[in-house]
Amino acid sequence: MRGQAVADEQTTYEYGAVDHREILEERQRAWNRFVQFLTWSVAGIALTLILLAIFLV
């Protein structure tokens, strides 16, 4: 059982100081990137549908 031997070796964990402002800023950046990606995706889909309507009808 190799997995059990590896699990037995690590018995303590060290945690560093965490600043809640850093976490909040990182999550806001991630949210802003997600919204930007979503906006461009919706715009691309809308453009594709408009072009399909123009050229196929």
- Tell me how far apart the alpha carbons of residues 57 and 50 are, in angstroms, rounded to a whole number: 11
Quick one: tokens of 49? 């549908």
Q: In the predicted model, is pLDDT for residue 11 greater than 90?
A: no
pLDDT at 49: 97
Please report which confidence band the pLDDT of residue 2 belongs to, taking 50, 70 and 90 as the band edges: low
B/e letters for 4-27, b = 16+ CB within 10 Å, e = fewer, are eeeeeeeeeeeeeeeeeeeeeeee
Q: What is the per-residue pLDDT across 16-45, written as a single tens digit (0 to 9) for each?
A: 888 899 999 999 999 999 999 999 999 999
Residues in the chain: 57
Q: In the predicted model, is pLDDT for residue 1 greater than 60?
A: no
pLDDT at 16: 83
The pTM assigned to this predicted structure is 0.63
